[in-house]
Chain A
Amino acid sequence: MEQELKAHLKKLMASGDVAGIIALKSERGMAKPYLFADASELECLCLTPKYPMASVARLLLDEDGAARFAIVCRGCDERALRELAKRHQVDLDRLVIVGIPCDEEMARECACPEPFPSVVAVGTKLEQWEAEDIGAAYRAMELDEKLAFWKHQLEKCNKCYGCRNACPMCFCKDCELENALWVKHGRLPPEFPIYHMIRAFHLAGKCIACGECQRACPSDIPLMVLNTLLREDMEELFGYVSGTGADAENPLYTKEEMQ
């Protein structure tokens, strides 16, 4: 798939449609997000590990006023870009999405709801994919067990802000997690449950289930359980699945007509 993708991108570059390509570059055995501006560099392009590309696009578009870029996107990256666009953080007209599918192993690792973007440019997407229900065990618990579960898990929090830093949906300049009014400075673990509650509230209707926060957490807090439950609530209560097309309005940001 990698060779096929490189060929595809070379053609795209030659067309002159885009000023560069946002993708991962392998360097000394490691990968980093990179803006490929020259076809010769594409040899170093790599596809793994998974990386929150939408954040890269957001920062880059912000830097450069008008240029158009191509971006190599997985399913989650595309979902993230869509939600960011709804919040005026990226201009989708300035991005050419080059979609690639995830293989089964990756998809399973993320319990991804949809391990492929809307249009797959190279590779073949998984047929008959059903994600593992990671909320199942939690849902089966009694109320007091649920509380105990979170008390135990959130106790492990180091307040490293890794989850927030990795999250492609976090774009605020000042973060409420650093506001001493809510989260006391110099206290570890943070007071239960305010830190994670703020994150959960801010992610309702926003979390696109990429799993970056959970991967970033050094304490292995199962953050995706919380996020999956949130996504379920949004769907059940409002029929909204975040990451879907731009015409689906976020129900949390609409006002009921004043009657």
Chain B
Amino acid sequence: MKIGVYVCHCGVNISNTVDVQKVISEVSALPTVAVCRDYQYMCSDPGQEMIAKDIRELGLDRVVVAACSPRMHEPTFRGAVEAAGMNPYCFEMANIREQCSWVHEDKEQATRKAADLVKSSVARAALLEPLNSTEVPVTHAALVIGGGIAGIQTALDIANSGYPVYLVEKDPSIGGHMAQFDKTFPTLDCAACILTPKMVDVARHPNIELLTYSEVESIEGSVGNFHVRIRKKPRYVNVSLCTGCGSCATACRLVGRIPSEFDMGLGKRGAIYVPFPQAVPLRYTIDPEKCLMLKHGKCGTSPKCVDACDRDAIDFSMTEEILEVDVGAIVVATGYKEFDPTIKREYKYGTFKNVMTGLELERIFAPSGPTGGKALINGKVPKKIVFVSCVGSRDKRIGNPYCSRVCCMYIAKQAHLLKEKIPDADITVMYTDMRAFGKGYEEFYERVQKEGIKYRRGNAAEVYEEDGVLHVRAEDTLMGEPYELEADLVVLGTGLEPSDAADAIGHMLHLSRSADKFFLEAHPKLRPVDTVIDGVFLAGAAQGPKDIPDTVAQASGAASHVVNLLSKDVILAEPIVAEVNTDVCAGCRICEILCPYDAHAFDEERNVMTINKAICKGCGSCAAACPSGAIAMNHFRDSQIVAQILEVI
């Protein structure tokens, strides 16, 4: 065995606290070590070349680099040794920076520890086995889950690169929350004007198969080869016959009787409906929970919608369909839901009709909304308006310590729009801290203040009613004094929470959540659109609260990662996976329960466990739990770990 050991100074990051020469002299004495060198920056070109030269000239079997965390540079050095003809899994890294020089002060002790760490890596390296990656073919198609602005942008970008996309949206139309807005901050573009063309593009794109009113049932497989079952819910309207004329909706016996979800319950629809006039696809849907025909099998003497439709598009016998598709990559763009402020009892949401949420007010502004865009609250023009920020955000008590990132700005937008419609309105914003971090945001905030909107720091403590008038109690934390305002409209700046429909998707894909319960990205800075599951990417508010510009940027980022993957014919599967020795396996199936990725499949015939290498992430849970010792973790075999431990104890 010939092992080459390379100790890095990391500039002075390591050498300030660790006596590199001393480490070298100790390690050189080990019988398996053929050469031991040091260098200022091992990761640099000359550093890597030094290793390559030794591999070629000295015929090294294993290489150990003592430097920073393997998370940082293991891929770098694996690549370097591979280029010099060595199997990349014969490389081992000792972390003497994060785990030594950065956390210790005493040079003598740190040097001793560094030497131990390197020796322990040498012991492990001697037992490493060469591993070979297997090639996996890639299906050249993508699945995008969620048809908000994030899903729309991702689907368009992938489709424009020439790959087929299945875009699945659970609601009858794509558009997501953005479709509910009238104007968007900070530029006040009309949301429909910028969103509708994209929605239409999606519907028309030859590479996009749009599956609205559909949900993902199950996902199997792994990167490059996912098998997806999609459930198309019955619309009870034949979409190829329906022209979207709307005669049925006006005819429906229940027209104007059912609260519209799209209008946040403020407007009413019938049992057959489109959520909004610009819906894509512009095809009607029957609400099976409400439709008299579907619920009771009878609607007067004959269903009015059927009578009204001259295309015979209505079909009560429709049932759900299951569609099975194969894709190579998946983008999760399931968005958010608005925080439900009923649990913040002090604001009396649900008790008083003129306490409303941000999203509800968005519908008031919308020309197609319940008031036709007029600033009317319960039929009256409000004159005294109070906005309360951070409702459901930055609130540890209700378990949402995070900032929702859009409320400060949508409050500014809404205050501006109200002032525009009601010039003599007295508008106060009670805020916690003003966060106007985006491009053009600070400028917009300034503009709104100049328009006469009052900003008072310190949030509302309570909303109560006296003699039919609402009062908001608050403390001005700049002046240090409590005060009260009368209001005929209180708008709660409700925050963002992950969408409920995202839960099932998260389970199917084994995605992790961050503390805020949004989906967790693979790295907060360097890999914000990847997940730890290869081939699964995140876009938009599913990953965390975001405004539209950030959502669109991330959506395009996710699309580029998908395209990057789909442009390959084969990918290499990581060989650090668990393997079952079927001669030893006793069939207890404990491992199966513990695997977070469902990589295990029990072979009933032979009564033993098998592991799907393509799904296994090499977490090691099963190998640690198997009482029989039947599971070996490649690259982290018991013998390798024990050798490493024995060297330091």
A interface residues (Cβ-Cβ under 8 A, vs B) = 87-89, 171-176, 179, 181, 202, 253-255, 258-259
Q: List 15 A-B contacts (CB under 8 A).
A: A88-B589, A171-B586, A171-B588, A172-B584, A172-B629, A173-B584, A173-B585, A173-B628, A174-B628, A174-B629, A174-B630, A176-B629, A181-B638, A181-B639, A253-B625
Specify the chain A residue showing the minimal Cβ separation from B591: A253
Q: Which residues of chain A have C-beta atoms less than 8 A from B512's C-beta?
A: 258-259
Q: Which residues of B contact A173 (CB under 8 A)?
A: 583-586, 628
Chain B contacts of A89 at CB under 8 A? 586-588
Given contacts A171-B586, A259-B513, contact A202 B629 (CB under 8 A): no
Q: Given A253-B593, A255-B596, answer yes or no on A88-B629 (Cβ-Cβ < 8 Å).
A: no
> Hey, which chain A residues are within 8 Å of B628, CB to CB?
172-176
In Å, the complex CA distance between A259 and B596 comes to: 11
B447 within 8 A of A: no
Please report which residues of chain B, range 254-311, place their CB below 8 angstroms from some CB of chain A when the two chains form the complex: none
B594 and A176 contact, CB distance less than 8 A: no
Contact A176 B593 (CB under 8 A): no
**Could you say which residues of chain A place their CB within 8 Å of the CB of B625?**
253
Partner-A contacts on B (CB < 8 A): 510-513, 517, 583-590, 593-594, 596, 621, 625, 627-630, 638-639, 642
Q: Which residues of B contact A174 (CB under 8 A)?
A: 583-584, 628-630
A174-B628, A181-B638, A181-B639 known; A87 vs B590 contact (CB < 8 Å)? yes
User: What chain B residues lie within 8 Å of A171 (beta carbons)?
Assistant: 586, 588
- Decide: A176 and B627 in contact? CB cutoff 8 A: yes
- Other A-B contacts than A171-B588, A255-B593, 6 sampled, CB-CB below 8 A, are A88-B589, A89-B588, A181-B638, A258-B510, A259-B512, A259-B517
Residue of A nearest to B585 (CB): A173
Q: How far is the CA of A89 from the CA of B517 in the complex (A)?
A: 39
Which residues on B sit within 8 Å (CB–CB) of A254? 593
In angstroms, how far is the closest chain A Cβ from the Cβ of B601? 14
**Shortest beta-carbon distance from B288 to chain A in Å:** 31
- Given known pairs A181-B638, A202-B627, the reply for A258 and B590 (CB within 8 Å) is no
Q: How far is the CA of A259 from the CA of B498 in the complex (A)?
A: 13
Interface centre among A171, A172, A179 (most CB of B within 10 A): A172
Chain B residues, CB < 8 A from A87: 588-590
A181 to B583 Cα, complex, angstroms: 19
A88, A258, A259: which contacts B588 (Cβ < 8 A)?
A88
Q: Kindly name the residue among B588, B589, B596 whose own CB sees the greatest number of chain A CB atoms within 10 A.
A: B588
**Residues of chain A within 8 A of B513, CB atoms compared:** 258-259
* Residues in A neighbouring B639, C-beta threshold 8 A: 181
Interface centre among A88, A89, A202, A254 (most CB of B within 10 A): A88
**Chain A residues near B589 (CB, 8 Å)?**
87-88
Q: Tell me the minimal C-beta distance from A201 to chain B in angstroms.
A: 9
Across the interface, which residues of A come within 8 angstroms of B587, CB to CB? Answer: 88-89
- In Å, the complex CA distance between A176 and B642 comes to 14
- B residues within 8 A CB of A253? 590, 593-594, 625
CA distance A254 to B595 in the complex (A): 10
Q: Given the complex, which residues of A lie within 8 Å of B583, measured CB to CB?
A: 173-174
A residues near B642, Cβ cutoff 8 Å: 181
Neighbour of B594 across the interface among A172, A175, A255, CB < 8 A? A255
Q: How far is the CB of A191 from chain B (nearest CB, A)?
A: 12
Closest-CB distance, A49 to chain B (whole angstroms): 28
| Alpha-carbon distance A175/B583, docked complex (angstroms) | 12
Cβ-defined contact, B586 with A172, below 8 A: yes
For A202, what are the chain B residues with a Cβ–Cβ distance below 8 Å?
627
> Contacting B627 at CB < 8 Å: which of A88, A172, A255, A259?
A172
What is the minimal beta-carbon distance from B343 to any residue of chain A, in angstroms?
20
Closest to B602 in A: A88
- When C-beta atoms are compared, the residue in chain B nearest to A257 turns out to be B507
Between B594, B621, B629, B630, the greatest number of chain A beta carbons within 10 A of the residue's beta carbon is seen for B629
* Docked complex Cα distance between A255 and B630 (Å): 20
Closest 8 CB pairs of A and B: A172-B628, A87-B588, A174-B584, A176-B629, A172-B586, A253-B590, A88-B589, A253-B593
Give, as a whole number of angstroms, the nearest-CB distance from A45 to chain B: 31
List of A residues within 8 angstroms of B585 by Cβ: 173
Task: Report A-chain residues with C-beta under 8 Å of the C-beta of B511.
Answer: 258
Residues of A within 8 A of B510 (CB): 258
CB of B629 within 8 A of CB of A179, answer: yes
Q: How far is the CA of A172 from the CA of B510 in the complex (A)?
A: 30
Give Cα A259–Cα B517 distance, bound, in whole angstroms: 7
- Minimal beta-carbon separation of B262 from chain A (angstroms): 31
| Least Cβ–Cβ distance between B304 and chain A, in angstroms | 48
How far, in angstroms, from A73 to B584 measured CA to CA in the complex?
Answer: 29
Chain A min CB distance to B448 (Å)? 39
Which residues does chain B contribute within 8 Å of A255, judged by CB atoms?
593-594, 596, 621
- Bound CA span A89–B594, Å: 18
Tell me which residues across on chain B come within 8 A of A172, comparing CB atoms. 584, 586, 627-630
Q: Please name all residues of chain A whose beta carbon is closer than 8 Å to the beta carbon of B629 when the two chains form the complex.
A: 172, 174, 176, 179
The answer for the CA separation of A176 and B510 in the assembled complex, in Å, is 32
Q: How far is the CB of B83 from chain A (nearest CB, A)?
A: 34
Q: Which residue on chain A has the smallest CB distance to residue B511?
A: A258
**Which A residues lie within 8 Å of B593 (CB)?**
253-255
Q: What separation, in Å, do the CA atoms of A179 and B638 have in the docked complex?
A: 11
CB distance from B408 to the nearest CB of A (A): 28
Bound Cα distance A173, B517 (Å): 43
Closest to A203 in B: B627
- Complex CA gap A174/B583 in Å reads 9
- Chain A residues within 8 Å of B586, by CB: 89, 171-173
Q: How far apart are A238's CB and chain B's nearest CB, in angstroms?
A: 15
A87 to B630, CA, bound (A): 15
List of A residues within 8 angstroms of B627 by Cβ = 172, 176, 202
Residue of A nearest to B627 (CB): A202
A237 to B306, CA, bound (A): 63
Which of the listed residues B517, B585, B586, B630 has the most CB atoms from chain A within 10 Å of its own CB?
B586
With both chains docked as a complex, state the minimum distance between the C-beta of B586 and any C-beta of chain A, in angstroms.
5
Q: How far is the CB of A195 from chain B (nearest CB, A)?
A: 15
A89 CB to nearest chain B CB (Å): 7
Identify the closest chain A residue to B586 (Cβ). Answer: A172
**B583 to A: closest C-beta gap in Å:** 7
In the docked arrangement, what's the CA distance between A171 and B585, Å? 10
Q: Closest chain A residue to B581 by CB distance?
A: A174
With both beta carbons as reference points, the residue of chain B lying nearest to A174 in the complex is identified as B584
Tell me the complex Cα distance, A179–B639, Å. Answer: 11
